Amino acid sequence: MTDPTNPRFLPMFDIEDQRPLRGSVNSSATNIVQQGLMDVLIHLFALAMTVWKERPLRDVSETDDLDAAALARSCHQKLVGLPELTEPTTDVSELHERFQTLQQLRAKKPSRLLRDVEAAAREVTLSIVERVRSAIDGAIGNGPHRTQAVVDQVRAGLQAVYLPEPDPEPLTRFGRVIRGLVEIGRHRSALPAKTIEYVEQQLSQRALPLYDKALLALAGELVVVDLRRELADLDVFLDELAGRGHDFARNLNAVEAALEELRSETIRASRQSRASVLLEIAGATDSEILAGLLARQKCQDQRELVSILLQKWEADLREQAAGWLAPTASLGTLLTHVSPATIADSFQAVVEGSLGEGHTLYEMIERAGILRTARDLYERAEQLCHLRSRNIEPFNITPCELTIVRLPQPVGRRDGQIRDDLAQAFTDLCEYEHCALIEAPNSERHVVSVIRSSLGWPIGIEAGNTVMLLEYAAAHERGHVPHLVGVLDESPDGSALPSYLEMASLLKE
């Protein structure tokens, strides 16, 4: 047999169970039946994703720039700019010095010059590799659903990159000419001066292009070393990017689930009892909402409509991700990294901000009747209990009546005026009490809510308030339960508290 005094067997007093049906004490709110809007949201989101995924995306062709020969020529231009490697004159000693310098560089003998030439090669290589990375990142950011296709294409391009082996022959040829010049110099006394001069001039002229080829070969060797290392890093980078496609798919599924849950919550919220403090106002149907959207955005069809919504949505998400994602982050990047709840809320806000005439919260309130809506909300927020004639000075009870009305920001073109008219209606209803009109937070942009309070109630049961205490004891004697069931931990069944009864008995003596 159940105990009727146990709150667990009195569900009507279970605050958590009753709140979804009856709101909270002293408050009321509008309940717009938004099932049509929710259906439109889910439909437009699916269409928007289809239109976005169908956009043509360019191939990543930057891997063609990973050409060792072209990079070697770029590096060669930088090396010629170094004082120790500038193009030499025909002076034999200078040519000989250049040959020794190239030998030391190829042998990787530690020196400042070796660090400089390696830095030049690295700078040239990284400039191209970073361009390739940026292109890959951009392609996946613009189309994360195509991640695997992009990765496969880039890998094929990287595998086609030709990395030649070091070629010592240009330096060897340059060295032969230098040794010839040295050998001629040793026979200077045995040969006519004009012969020596002629041979040295011919060999020096031949040495200049050979030096240039030897320097180009060195540049190619340095570039290949860096390029081989960067290609290995790019391969790891592609492995990391492959996971981004999974993140995008998982996030997108979560967004769809969030929209579906929002739709389910809307349907559940529309099933209110007649005694509810939630004032039901009929919303527009999905066909009416779509027609209004198309008309306001001046679109011929729904695909054109979602193209416009996509631009607004991307801008809104980028604003919400400011500070932790790049200001130029693509929609694909945003959909991969922004939380599903934020994405769903953003899409809903964009669609609602694009609604046509007659479909905003305030326009639906106007259709239902501004004064009627204000009066309904005001009366539904009537307090469930009051002091009647006891709120007078002899009882030391003089509360202040306060009504708080939370009004969302206007959305539609006419919302501002309707909002002002609704605010005036509430002000007129609160003729004998203070009415505070405040702006509702963005999370309550679909709701007008009212809270009515009596401020300044004293403690009703205490030694300084004899009248209330004695009435409390008399109520107990008549079998009246003075407390609400389940409100006080000391009195879960609402019965009188022994400490109060004892205090009353002492006052009677």
Give the integer Cα–Cα distance in Å for 315 and 124: 36
| pTM for the structure as a whole | 0.61
Neighbours of 402 (CB within 10 A): 16
Q: What is the mean pLDDT of the chain?
A: 83
Is the domain of 160 the same as that of 13?
no
Give the integer Cα–Cα distance in Å for 390 and 398: 9
Domain membership of residue 287 (yes or no) is no
Is the domain of 13 the same as that of 143?
no
Is the domain of 141 the same as that of 214?
yes
Domain membership of residue 76 (yes or no) is yes
Structural contact between residues 130 and 233, judged by C-beta atoms closer than 8 angstroms = no
What pLDDT does residue 12 have? 36
Domain membership of residue 220 (yes or no) is yes
Domain membership of residue 249 (yes or no) is yes
In this predicted structure, the answer to whether residue 385 has a pLDDT above a threshold of 70 is no
In this predicted structure, the answer to whether residue 19 has a pLDDT above a threshold of 70 is no
Given 203, 229, 253, the domain boundary residue is 253
Domain membership of residue 245 (yes or no) is yes
Residue-range definition of the domain harbouring residue 467:
7-17+385-508
What pLDDT does residue 356 have? 81
Give the integer Cα–Cα distance in Å for 467 and 390: 11
Is the domain of 13 the same as that of 131?
no
Inter-residue long-range contacts of 490-495, CB under 8 Å, 24+ positions, other chains counted: 492/5, 492/6, 492/7, 493/5, 493/6, 493/7, 494/5, 495/5
φ, ψ dihedrals at 381, nearest 5°: -85, 5
| pLDDT (average), residues 375-402 | 71
Q: What pLDDT, in 10s, does the model give residues 81-115? A: 999 999 888 888 898 999 999 999 999 999 999 99
372 confidence band (pLDDT: 50, 70, 90): very high
Is the domain of 12 the same as that of 73?
no
Is the domain of 212 the same as that of 92?
yes
CA distances from 139 to 119, 151, 232, 470 (A): 30, 10, 20, 80
391 confidence band (pLDDT: 50, 70, 90): low
Is the domain of 222 the same as that of 79?
yes
In this predicted structure, the answer to whether residue 68 has a pLDDT above a threshold of 60 is yes
Is the domain of 114 the same as that of 205?
yes
Q: What pLDDT, in 10s, does the model give residues 296-308? A: 899 999 999 999 9
How many domains does the chain contain in total?
A: 2
Domain membership of residue 288 (yes or no) is no
461 confidence band (pLDDT: 50, 70, 90): low
Strands (E), 13-129: 27-33
Domain membership of residue 336 (yes or no) is no
In this predicted structure, the answer to whether residue 57 has a pLDDT above a threshold of 90 is no
Q: Does residue 158 sit in helix, strand or coil?
A: helix
9 confidence band (pLDDT: 50, 70, 90): very low
Given 203, 237, 253, the domain boundary residue is 253
426 or 1, greater pLDDT:
426
Quick one: DSSP state of residue 3? -
Is the domain of 177 the same as that of 88?
yes
Highest mean pLDDT among 146-155, 442-451, 454-463: 146-155
156 or 443, greater pLDDT:
156
473 or 344, greater pLDDT:
344
Given 253, 283, 314, the domain boundary residue is 253
Is the domain of 11 the same as that of 149?
no
Is the domain of 12 the same as that of 120?
no
Give CA 13 to chain center in angstroms: 42
Domain membership of residue 30 (yes or no) is no
Give the integer Cα–Cα distance in Å for 110 and 131: 31
Is the domain of 169 the same as that of 85?
yes
- Burial of residue 391 (CB within 10 Å: 0-12, 13-18, 19+) is middle
